Structure formats: structure tokens, C-alpha cells
Structure 1
Amino acid sequence: MTRRPATPLPAPKARRRLRETAALTQTQLATRLGVTAGTVRAWESGRTTPRGRKREAYAKLLKTLAEEETTRQAKQEREGEREREQEREQEQEREDKEKAAPEPAPEPGPEPRPEPVALTPAQAFDALYAFSAPALVRQTFLLTGRREQARESVERAFQTAWERWPEVARDREPVGWVRATAYEYALSPWQRLRPRHRHPEPPPADPGDRTLLNTLLRLPPRHRRTLVLYDGVGLDLPETAAETEASTVAAAHRLLHAREAVAGRLPALADPHVLHRRLAELASNERLRAAEPPTVRRGGERRARLRTRAAIAFTIALVGTTALTLRTAPTHYEPPVSPGQAVRGVPHRVAPGALSDEELELWQKLRDQLQDGPERLSPTLE
């Protein structure tokens, strides 16, 4: 049984443009598709891709919006042509009136407003990093309990954002884009295989902070991430579900289980407001510093160059191996020679000797008889 190919979808930028052209908000579009606004935001940013029936419904809706946009553009072009014709007529009438009337004295107009200065990509990236990096490092520390790993995760996330800066800069929530990437890197199972993970870091000095951090680290990674996003960062439940790539119901269950586990060990934190305040205090009490923005950008560019060189080297090695194989490979099939085997059961060859009397009599009889058969018969008249 063959699988039907997935329904094609426009690029994430085109999806967002079609929705904005149709004057629809993410919430309105999510209501029409039966999903959350955070899910639509993830689809438009390219972090996730719809599947199954939701993909088909999303593709059908985008196709309808594209057709409506084409119809709307054609209508606007016709209306614009009529308006331009009217403006030309009015302009001609004004010119005729100005020629007939005396020229008025010029009046001082308003002072021109200074145009906003456009930031370069590097300046915009540095501003985003300076604004959000310290808070992201503290949030990531609540997930991992390791200061160096939290700093490295945030730096890697910003390096990835710098590599894909045109996409991140157009996102409505670039901080959320970087936060999701940092959390994914920090909670990756491969972190346990690193040698640094085998050496524990010194715990917080305050006993209450140390107990709270140990309680958080005992939670499953998904529950811990949901708790930090909802009670620590302060996101709404649909936004938390979208960032963790889960349904709203699943995110709610994870949040309730995480709160129950924390309250079971620390009954004073059963109140969500108290838990939010304690999480903020725990993250603020640690001295966590992030690197400077230029250092992060240079690190990302260096990693990109290394990956490019590795890809080029791998391609050259693959081409060389293929050429060597074509050069040394045989051009025709040579069947293999089977190894020799001993044949058993064949009698040994007997050396020649003297003939017996019977063999001599038979030999003489054969020599005396005709070897060419009987004589040829020919018809005769009697």
C-alpha cells in the first residue's frame, strides 16, 4: 500500500502574507481551523509543520485566501485606474483655474519630520540579544540546573538565529523563537554524553533555593519545561502548548502534574503565585552572565564556515571515491572458478598386460571377419 503524498503548502512567509492580506488575525485563523493561535504562529514561523487533516484544511484555506487576493487585486487595479483617470481630470481642472486666478502668496509649511533611522542586521541582532539573553540564561538554568550549559544553550540559540536572521527578524515573537531553540538544545538527551555533564556544579548557597532546584530537576523534562514557561516565564496556556508542540489539553495535564509534584515536596509552593515568585527569585539569585553580542555573532559565523568546509571536504572525498571506483571496477563479468574437489568411487586404471586365451581368440575373430559389413547385394536375371 503506497502512502499518498502530503498536500503542498506555501512557504511560511507566504502563509503569513496571505493571512495578513485577508485581514485575519492568528486567533481568527486558528478558530477556522480548530487549533490554537500558538499553533498557527508556529506554522507561520516554520518551527512546526501541520500534518494529516489539519494540513489539508490549512492548504485549502490558504488556496481560498490566495484566490480572494487575486480577485481583490484585479478589482483594486480597475478601481485604481478609474481613480487615476479622475485625478488627471481634476488636476487638469485645477491647472486651468490656477492659470486664470492670480498666484497666492506662499505660506510657511510645517517642518519636515526626521525619518527614522533603519538599523543594520547586526545592530538589530545586538539589540535583541542585549534585551533577552540575560533572562533566557536564567530561565534555561531552571531547566538544567547547570550554569555553563544554560549560557551555552542560549548562545547556540542566538547563533542559529543569526544564521537565519531574515526569518527571525520578521517573526512577531523573535524572543519566543530563540527561547524554543535554546530549550531544545538544553534538554537534548545528547547533553548527558558530554564529559562536562559527569562533573556536578556547586548547588545554590541558599537551602531553600537548593531544595526547589532539586525538585525541578526531578520532574520529567516536558513537565519541567511546561512549568517554567507557564509559572516562570508567564506565558498563556495556548502559547505554552504551541511552544512545547503539544495540545492545550496535554499542556494543562503536564502543568497540573508538575505543580502537584512540587507541592508534594514543598507544600508552601502550592499557590501558583507563590511558585511564580520563588522561581523568579531562584533564577535571579544566581550570577549568570551572557557573552557580548559581537562574540556570539562571530562564533556563529565561525561555526557556519566550519560546516561549509566540512561539507566541501565530504563532497570532494565522495567524488574522489566514486572516480576511483569507476577507474578500478571491472568492465565485464568474470565468473568465479570453483575450487577442485576429489572424485570418489572411480576404479583405478589397470596397467596393460598379456592377453588371456579367450581375449586372443576374440581378437583373432575380429581380425578375420569383414570390418565393412556384408557384401553389397545386386539384382541378377535368372
Structure 2
Amino acid sequence: MTRSPATPLPSPDERRRLREEASLTWPQLAERMGVRPETVRAWESGRSAPRGRNREAYAELLAGLAEGAAGAGPRESVSVRRKEEVTAVVTVCPGEPGGDGRPGAVAPEASAFAQAPPPSSAFREARLTPAQAFDALYSFCAPALVRQTYLLTGRRALARESVERAFQLAWDRWPEVARDPDPAGWVRAAAYEWALSPWHRFRRRHRQSEPPPPDEDDRALLEVLLRLPPPYRRALLLYDGLGLGLPETAAETEATTRATAGRLAHARETVAARLPELSDPRELRRRLAGLARTGRLRAAEPPVVRGGGERRTRFWTRAAVAFTVALIGATAFTLRTAPTRYEPPVPPGETVRGVPPRVAPGPLSEDRRELRTRLREELPRGPERLVPQAR
């Protein structure tokens, strides 16, 4: 595979001069490019240089600034600005790297990780509604993100669920996500965290086996990936699969650069030990993209994801309200039925000694039977009354 020549750029001093002549600050230029202000400062100081799509967009932006300084018409400036805005949005979701291992042009064999072009109708309006901006981000990043998550888990249903939950979380926190310099990275980190959660092993669906890929080489690669510890697997996918730099990979995995480099080296050694033909990073990248294509995964529609997130939010809100009402009712019932004064407890019973036991009646004697018979005969008439007499 031949490497495409890099787009020529002016010198760092010329870049700074063009920006200052256009009365642009670092944050303004960074907002157009979709990067951080520190990145623009590094480009103008010569400490680093843009790569891939960022390099092409930066070159077009500088060319537009040079034409504007030379007296270009306002119509051309507006068209260049609109094209730069669209290009900046495109760079939000980096695709599969090129042959140099850094974010750049998408290679043909790596198209499984590349996002579809953003919908042109979403950028016709100068200002988008939150729902339109969310739908544009989802349509642009979700298909590739589902394939990436499949490589992390090896489960198709879990990959789709992780991406949907990540975007639902993004919709719930949309003001925060919309202001984030890298919204796609925010969603990707949330999807990876949900997919690699250890609590999935307790789910009944997770215990069922997943049908393996049809190709034997893909099965072997997926088996090696799933045997890696989750942090090592994630670092390998971000660096060799997506082409992120080592500092960006370390930041997204919340680890130091040294620890990330160690994880990456161990993961590569493990893969190369089982599959020697994948010792070359470019071949590994190509095989990862091919394995992602075998999943044949499709993401849900943006309105479905937004509606699911809103329904889940309403459900938990109503559940919280119902639990609060039940707690208040139980507290009121307890206060209503609780005693208002102290009642001493009843002492336990004690054995009373000295009382003769009760004797059961025995058989009557002959005299007693006669007496009973006579008393029974005289009772209806009554005994003779004794009349007191005065003396």
C-alpha cells in the first residue's frame, strides 16, 4: 500500500502571521478546526504538525486566509468558511488511520472503522437544534462505534446496547457533551466503559455463547483479543485500530503514558505469539478492520435512541417519585400508630410454690350417692324453712 504525500503547509511563522492578519485568536481558530487551542499553538510554534484530515483542513483554512488578505471577495470567504466548518465537524470522529499509523486518510481495507460522510442537510442551517446536532453526531459516529465495540466484547447485542446507552447518556447530558472539544471521544469512552463493565457476566444473556465469525482466521484473532485483559484490549484497539496517539490513548484509558505503552507492547506480543503474521502493525490494523466488518452490525435510528433515553429517564423519575411517596406514607403510618406513652413490658410468669395440686374427683361412696339422690328429690319442693321465734 503506497503512502499518499502530505499536504504542504506554510512555515510556522507564516501560519501565525495569517491568523493575526485575519484577526483570529487561538480559540477561534481551534473552534473552526475542531481541535484544542493548545493544538493550534503547537502548530504555530513548530512543536507539532497536523496530520491527515486536520492537515488538509488546516491547509485549506490558511489558503482561505491568504486569499482574504490578498483581497478575495466576500462570497468566496463565506464559502471557504462554510467548508471549513463542515471539515471541522468531519474531524470530530477520526476514522481509521492511514499507512503511517496516525489519523489520516482512510485506507480501503480499513473502511470498517470509517464513519459515513455527515449529512449535508444538517449543516445548511447556521444554528442547529439540540436534536438535530445529536442526530448528526449519532449518524456520523454510531456505525463505526458499534463495530469497534464488537471487537472489545465479541458480542453483537452487547455492542449495540453499549453504543445506544452511551448516546442516551450523551443526550441526557447534551449541554456538557455539546461543549466538549471532542464529543465523539466522549461518547466512545462511555460506550467502551459500558461494554467492558464486569457486571455483564452476571446477566443471563451474557452466559449464552455467541456465534463465532465464519472465517477461521477471524475466529483466531477474536479469540486472542478476548483473552487479553480489558485495559490491554482497549489500548490495542485505540492505538492500532483507530490510530490514536499514545498520549490520547493514555488519556482515554485514564492511565499514564508509560503504563499505556507497556499495555500496548504486551498486547502486541501476545497477539504476535499466537498469530505471527500479525507482528506488523499495519497487517494487524487491516485484520482488525476485516474482523469488524464480519459482525455486520447496524445501529438503530437516532430518534429511537433519543426516545429510549427519554423513556428511561421518565421511568426512573417516576420510580423515584413513587419510592419517595411510599417512604413518606410509611413514615406517616408509623407516626400515627406508634404509642405515645411508655408501657412497661409484661414480666414473664413465675412458678408459685406451696399450693397443693388440684385433685380430680374420684368415685362416690355409697353414702354420698344416697345423699345425692335425696337432695335431688327434695330440691323441687325445697327444704323446710326455719321460722325464727322470739323469746
Same fold per superposition (TM over 0.5): yes
Aligned position for 1:231: 240
Identity between Structure 1 and Structure 2 (%): 69
Q: Which amino acid aligns with 2:217?
A: G
Question: Residue in 2 aligned with 1:207?
Answer: 216
- Within the candidate set 171, 181, 184, 2:190 is matched to 181
Equivalences for residues 277-356 of structure 1 within 5 A:
277-342=286-351
Rounded to whole Å, the distance in 2 between the matches of 1:152 and 1:349 is 80
Q: Which has the larger radius of gyration?
A: 1
Structure 2 length as normaliser, TM-score? Answer: 0.59
Equivalent position of 1:244 in the other structure: 253
Change (3 A) 1:308 1:349: closer
Could you tell me which runs of 5 or more consecutive residues in structure 2 were left unpaired when the two chains were aligned.
1-25, 31-35, 42-72, 83-124, 357-391
1:75-224 matches, within 5 Å, as 117-224=126-233
RMSD across aligned C-alpha pairs, in angstroms? 3.0
Which letter maps to 2:277?
A
Pair 1:261-2:273 in alignment: no
For 1:287 and 1:110, the matched residues in 2 are separated by 47
Letter aligned with residue 154 of structure 1: V
Aligned residues: 249
Q: 1: CA distance between counterparts of 2:173 and 2:74? A: 42
Distance 1:326 1:223, change over 3 A: same
| Counterpart for residue 369 of structure 2 | none
Cα deviations by residue, 1:107-153 (Å, 9 ceiling, x for unpaired): xx978969962111111111101110011000000001111110111
For residue 190 of structure 1, report the CA deviation from its aligned partner: 1.8
Q: What is the CA–CA distance in structure 1 between the aligned matches of 2:280 and 2:355, rounded to whole Å?
A: 106
Structure 1 residue 222 displacement after superposition: 1.3
- Superposed CA deviations along residues 256-310 of structure 1, whole A, max 9, x for unmatched, are 1111111110111112222122111211233111011111111111111111111
The alpha-carbon distance between structure 1 residues 322 and 128, as it changes in their structure 2 partners (threshold 3 A), is same
Q: 1:316 to 1:230 in 2, by over 3 A?
A: same
Listed as ranges, the gaps of 5+ residues in structure 1 are 1-18, 30-108, 351-382
Measure, in 2, the Cα distance between the counterparts of 1:343 and 1:20: 95
Residue 318 and residue 201 in structure 1: after superposition, are their counterparts in 2 closer, same or farther (change >3 A)?
Answer: same
Call closer, same or farther: CA 1:140–1:110 in 2, change over 3 Å. closer
Point out 4+ residue stretches in structure 1 off by more than 4 angstroms.
Answer: 23-29, 109-116
Distance 1:26 1:340 in 2: 85
Are 1:273 and 2:282 an aligned pair? yes
Cα gap change, 1:110 to 1:185, in 2 (>3 Å): closer
Tell me the distance in 1 between the aligned counterparts of 2:199 and 2:78: 54
